Structure 1
Amino acid sequence: MLKGVLLSVFASLLFGVVYFLSTVLYPIQGAGLFGWRTLVTVPFVIAAVFLLKQQQEFLAFLTRLTHEPYLIVILLFNSLNIGAQMWLFLWAPVNGKAIEVSIGYLLMPLVMVLMGRFAFRERMSRVKGVAVIFAALGVFSKIWITGVFSWETAFVCVGYPVYFAVRKHFNILHLSSFLLEMLLMIPISVYFAAQVEMSWVLQQNPFAYEWLALLGLVGGIAFIAYIMASQRIPINILGLLGYLEPFTMLVVSFLIGERLEQDSYILMGCLCVAVFLLILDGMAKTKITAFS
């Protein structure tokens, strides 16, 4: 349980680094950046299979696919879903949709908590329930004040919970399935990356290849850590811990010169309380486990 929590926190911090790296890769952006990000991430995911000694599990999963071929369709669906999420994450900041996508990331953990409770019958302690209430109040106060709810918001807050719920339902919560999902993205990624004129990019950004390599390393480790976390903790706890990623993105925003708007003060206050309650609940459970 504790290892899963730490992996989730680690992943959130790394996703914040990825968010920052997308700002230093100009003039590569949008679909082109998605294509390159996928291509530089796949080698690290393959390496992780060997580093984590998951070769036998990968071969066993391939064998399972021969007995359960319908899983290929599931993998295609998940690949399209997570690929679209990766594209939207990189596309939004340069197309004036960063607020909409950020609200989606804030709503997403709440949707995961509710999905875990009602779809998978996962237990929710009173403290977690109070944390969810505070988080919901904060998120909906933001929506009430700004009046913003767009397709970008809906796509994020629904798409990610569906992705993890599908993986959980079909018992494919492992690195092998994630690797296949990434491999299925390669054809479209090659197409998008080929549209980028790298000779012109290098004139504008001489270290573009180095930044792309770092983007692949950080992004690959972040995704792997998050998937490993989803194997070790209930989906509702994973959902609450997901609030750390928007906090990390907020810190990155401060570092690149952005400021928190007044209409977000209530939201951030409520989310701080929710995360604090989650920490208290986790500490209490850790003590109970230690004494038992």
Structure 2
Amino acid sequence: MSSKLALPSSQNSQLYVGLLSSVAASCMFAFLPWYIHQFPLEPNSGNWLAAQRIVWSCLLMLIGLGLMKQLPLIVSQLVNVKAWPRLMVASILVGLQFWLFIWAPANGQTLPVALGYFSLPLVLVLVGRFVYQERLSRVQWVAVCVAGLGVAYAYLMADGLSWVVLLVAFGYPLYFMLRRKYPLPSHIAFTVDNLLLLPLAIVYLLLNDGVSVEQSQIVSFYNHSPWLYYFGLGIAGTVPMLLFLLASNHLPLSLFGLMGYLEPVLVFSVGWLLGERLSAEQWPTYILIVLALLLLAIDGSRRGFKRKASVSLN
């Protein structure tokens, strides 16, 4: 007996890989702000750390690709002069996100970044639905509406619409749309993006003398082995981004967008463990987003049971 609910095993495996990659990326991204705050933050710290992240990400990726004997794939992309315009646009779009994620905490822009990441999943859902004609289940639509209420409430509590919010909410969707039009393996795309940003990072580092390490929680560590901190920053910024790109390649854009709400919840959890607390007016946003995530989990479990039942009937 066959069932229309049954999905090809390859499609199921892609879905599971995408979901696991998305969850793992969110967990690791939640760790990154904590790691960044171990550095002595001052106004120019964000630019310095963003440049260091690019340099060390390039180094790590080139070593990894060299061990896997895949460096020729990078060369083939870079020597294709006709591809340079779209490669440059993609690297600028994602480079702005790399920079903003590190620059914002050092410049008092954490709230606008949070609002941008709250808005991003909704923008991805709309792009998936109306650009790629992806369909959402009823439960997923309810989750979208619930999350939308949380985001709308957060905007009401904020002081206007910042350029930071717009950059996050619309920059990433444009990047993912470009990557879908010109698909590349996630590790190749990430390496090419960083290599194209590398000259800017090197020039910035050469023209600046670094940052002060006064009152740092890791003063002695930083003074003796600053490269270890930057190496850790490279790992903390590289691995989750690779998983993030892998998830975007394996999930429908709408579902990928909704899964993005896991990250701010995890960031909140990390902040809670570090002693940070929400004000009374912030609770409704997080409660609604957690509710949306629970709805997605219920919908995913329900679909999983249906698939197992359909397979057992075949």
The answer, yes or no, to whether TM exceeds 0.5 is yes
1:206 counterpart = 2:224: no
Alignment counterpart, residue 24 of structure 1, candidates 18, 38, 60: 38
Contact 2:154 2:285 in 1 (8 A): yes
Measure the CA separation in 2 of the matches of 1:268 and 1:138.
7
Which AA in structure 2 matches 1:252? V
CA 1:10–1:200: 2 relative to 1, 3 Å: same
Identical residues among aligned pairs (%): 30
Which residue does the alignment assign to 1:43?
A: 59
Alignment counterpart, residue 62 of structure 1, candidates 73, 77, 85: 77
Contact 2:58 2:195 in 1 (8 A): yes
1:100 counterpart = 2:116: no
Contact 2:65 2:71 in 1 (8 A): no
Measure the CA separation in 2 of the matches of 1:171 and 1:60.
16
Which residue does the alignment assign to 2:135?
A: 123
Contact 1:19 1:252 in 2 (8 A): no
Alignment counterpart, residue 218 of structure 1, candidates 236, 242, 247: 236
Contact 1:146 1:263 in 2 (8 A): no
Which AA in structure 2 matches 1:30? G
1:247 counterpart = 2:265: yes
Which residue does the alignment assign to 1:163?
A: 175
Contact 1:100 1:150 in 2 (8 A): yes
Measure the CA separation in 2 of the matches of 1:7 and 1:152.
26
| Residues paired across the two proteins, number | 288
Which residue does the alignment assign to 2:195?
A: 183
Contact 2:45 2:211 in 1 (8 A): no
Task: Provide the secondary structure at the position in 2 that maps to 1:122.
Answer: coil
Shift of 1:169: 1.9
Measure the CA separation in 2 of the matches of 1:188 and 1:18.
22
1:110 counterpart = 2:126: no
Measure the CA separation in 1 of the matches of 2:307 and 2:187.
28
Shift of 1:258: 2.4
Alignment counterpart, residue 303 of structure 2, candidates 261, 278, 285: 285
Which AA in structure 1 matches 2:198? I
The gaps in structure 1 that reach 5 residues or longer are: none
Shift of 1:157: 0.6
Which residue does the alignment assign to 2:5?
A: none
Which AA in structure 2 matches 1:130? V
TM-score where L is the length of structure 2:
0.84
Measure the CA separation in 2 of the matches of 1:278 and 1:101.
24
Measure the CA separation in 2 of the matches of 1:199 and 1:56.
34
Which AA in structure 2 matches 1:143? Y
Which residue does the alignment assign to 1:7?
A: 21
Which AA in structure 1 matches 2:178? V
1:264 counterpart = 2:282: yes
- Which structure would you say has the larger Rg? 2
The gaps in structure 2 that reach 5 residues or longer are: 1-14
Which residue does the alignment assign to 2:294?
A: 276
CA 1:199–1:160: 2 relative to 1, 3 Å: closer
Task: Provide the secondary structure at the position in 1 that maps to 2:136.
Answer: coil
Shift of 1:107: 0.5
CA 1:202–1:263: 2 relative to 1, 3 Å: closer
Contact 1:41 1:219 in 2 (8 A): yes
Deviations 1:97-133 (A, max 9, x none): 1111110011001100111111111111111111000
Task: Provide the secondary structure at the position in 2 that maps to 1:25.
Answer: coil
Contact 1:29 1:91 in 2 (8 A): yes
Shift of 1:201: 4.1
CA 1:178–1:199: 2 relative to 1, 3 Å: closer
TM-score where L is the length of structure 1:
0.90
Shift of 1:213: 1.2
Measure the CA separation in 2 of the matches of 1:202 and 1:290.
58
Measure the CA separation in 1 of the matches of 2:200 and 2:262.
31
